[in-house]
Structure 1
């Protein structure tokens, strides 16, 4: 009997030492090397919230394939879609920061919790179109912000996208800010975005994405805002009746890697990671925009009533949100805000 108890105790201790990815299992680089110089193997656990049919995952599959094939097997990439490891972007980013997993692809808005300058991209109606967004994100401004993430133990690789975000609700078409007054409105975990919808008169508050469908179904919230891709893939059309194409925020995503993990990779693998990330960005954006067109038509077929804000209507929303610009510009820096706005020129 003592022998059996000893064996069981040893088994428990081994399992505890291994840990799950979301319980601080440590860097995947640990315990995965073959012990021969120059021949080390590395595992990248890549976690994100979206489903397998969304553009983020489809492009991540090619990202995985490229890294594994062109590294001759020295890199292994494990994909964890559907929020299978973490129920919110913030949790996933924190896990990468701590080295519990190696990578995540969160909505950019969640990164402002780690560096407030990223809130500049959450200013309402900041970009007129995709070209303006790409000019800001892929240029000097975006790169400078990526570099600053290293101070937070994060390696910012590239920006991708969820697309422009739009308003959905169960009360009626939204054509002016007053249509949002009093609605229980879910926002992302981002104070600037929450403040924006409070300016429109909504009863706005943040709520975890992974539990949002149930909250809408149970009436905890009347309204929310999402890009078309997430409205479709998460079947929010089943619990939301009206969709207003408002394009109030451009929703970027970001490829994040644990900074120590990246720096510990051999130089040739670092270069391969960057090359694969840039290819991911191009492919993912292309798929995302194709899906938006296709899935918007399906949302209509599923019964959502869709209206699109005119340029004049958008201007009313932007004017009413001016206090948000006034509040956050001193905090973010006037130069940074002007640099972002200049991308529209």
Structure 2
């Protein structure tokens, strides 16, 4: 009798799991390669969410710009409901709500401790989340994390020792006004290039340098073209993790908690907004 009851219980559990399997499917694109910290973080998110939801949520990750080649395209996909989760930057969100671009002011954050203090103010960033929802509908800011470390200026052929050395150079930037203005004020020409195309742009001489963190440079093998770097640490770029708001609100409360916990587990957090 015990064996029969145990068999019935196991069967009921399996049947229940099958009935709820993949009730919710998350489409998660990113523009980095398979070795990037973004991809590794999303693998953690996928494993956590799928297991803790007992298969009710499935997560499909599309790396290397397979579904969208730029942050602008990916964020538009989030708003349209084509995609469900995407990691962008604070600088990119400034294209939707300009005041957040203040985080890009050069040399404003002097060290990691102060940067983490700024980004860990949940009430402050909760207000920012609402502004983002107002100006970029359906884009729910889930958390802000580090995004490749402190930004430095790296060049292919010319060593930079002073601002005067920047004159005439073409420097890759993201399409953010403050970052572009910094390059202009240093005498160089800002050249916005989407992330998947930066390696080729550096190797073919389309640009003379880039503004990136050391982690990003090494993970994407930019050092094959770059020969010089000024460790000026002019920006601490925050990684903004954005979720499709309608999809998030469609979850029952127990699965909302699974997603929230999955976001929290996926990456070292500077701030988390439930």
Q: TM-score, normalised by structure 1?
A: 0.68
Distance 2:261 2:130 in 1: 17
Matches within 5 A, 1:49-128: 49-128=31-110
Aligned to 2:250: 264
Deviation, 1:256, is 0.7
In 2, Cα distance between equivalents of 1:98 and 1:46: 14
| Residues 68 and 75, structure 1, Cα contact 8 Å, conserved in 2 | yes
Q: Tell me which residue corresponds to 1:157.
A: 142
Q: 1:252 aligns to what SS in structure 2?
A: strand
Is the alpha carbon distance of 1:210 and 1:40 closer, same or farther for their aligned partners in structure 2, counting shifts above 3 Å? closer
Unaligned runs of at least 5 residues, structure 2: 1-15
Contact 1:158 1:281 survives alignment (8 Å)? no
More helix by share: 1
Tell me the equivalent position of 2:9.
none
Measured against aligned partners, the alpha-carbon deviations of 1:99-118 in whole angstroms (never above 9, x if no partner) come to 11111111221111111122
Q: Determine the C-alpha separation between the residues in 1 that align with 2:146 and 2:64.
A: 17
Q: Is the 8 A contact 1:105 1:256 kept in 2?
A: yes
Aligned with 1:211 (options 189, 193, 197): 197
Alignment of 1:287-298 (within 5 A): none
Aligned residues: 251
The 8 Å contact of residues 160 and 252 in structure 1, kept in 2 or not, is answered as yes
Change (3 A) 1:37 1:224: same
Deviations 1:234-255 (A, max 9, x none): 2111121112211111111111
Residue 280 of structure 1 and its aligned partner are, at CA, apart by 2.2
Contact 1:107–1:254 under 8 Å retained in 2: yes
**Equivalent in the alignment of 1:166:** 152
Task: Give me the CA root mean square deviation.
Answer: 2.2
- The residue correspondences of 1:1-345 to structure 2 (distance < 5 A) are 41-139=23-121, 140-151=123-134, 152-162=137-147, 163-282=149-268
Show structure 1 runs of 5+ residues with no match.
Answer: 1-33, 286-345
Q: Is residue 20–residue 56 contact of structure 2 (8 Å, CA) maintained in 1?
A: no
Aligned to 2:268, what secondary structure does the other structure show? helix
